[in-house]
Amino acid sequence: MKTIAILTLSLLSLAALAEPFAGGDAKQGKALFDKHNCNSCHVAMINGGPEAIFTRADRKVKSPADLAAQIKRCGSVGAKLTAQEELHISAYLNQAFYKFK
């Protein structure tokens, strides 16, 4: 029993290494991103189209941890996301823009 638990845990951590937001679903993340109008502020701030904030040369997010923290910060403004929703959005933004491994 114990061996199985340990094996399962090591497999889970391997999966976490392979994909930083393994528990998130990019498709649901995109839907949440649109539903909560996440780009409403970003577009007003930055020239260059709705996604420019994620692709600008001096973007702020440099790691999966940065991405999770920024989504938490932005989400707290109005969207009031659950941890699972934050994970979905992380997975979406990572897949579409940041490409952290």
**Would you tell me which residues interact with ligand HEC (CB under 6 A)?**
33, 36, 38, 40-42, 45, 53-54, 59-61, 67, 70-71, 74-75, 77-79, 89, 93
Q: Which is nearer to ligand HEC, 3 or 47 (CB)?
A: 47
Q: Which is nearer to ligand HEC, 13 or 84 (CB)?
A: 84
Report how far residue 92's alpha carbon sits from residue 27's, in angstroms, rounded to the nearest whole number. Answer: 7
Output the CA torsion 47→48→49→51 (10° steps): -100
Task: In angstroms, give the least distance from the CB of 61 to ligand HEC.
Answer: 3
Report how far residue 3's alpha carbon sits from residue 54's, in angstroms, rounded to the nearest whole number. Answer: 43
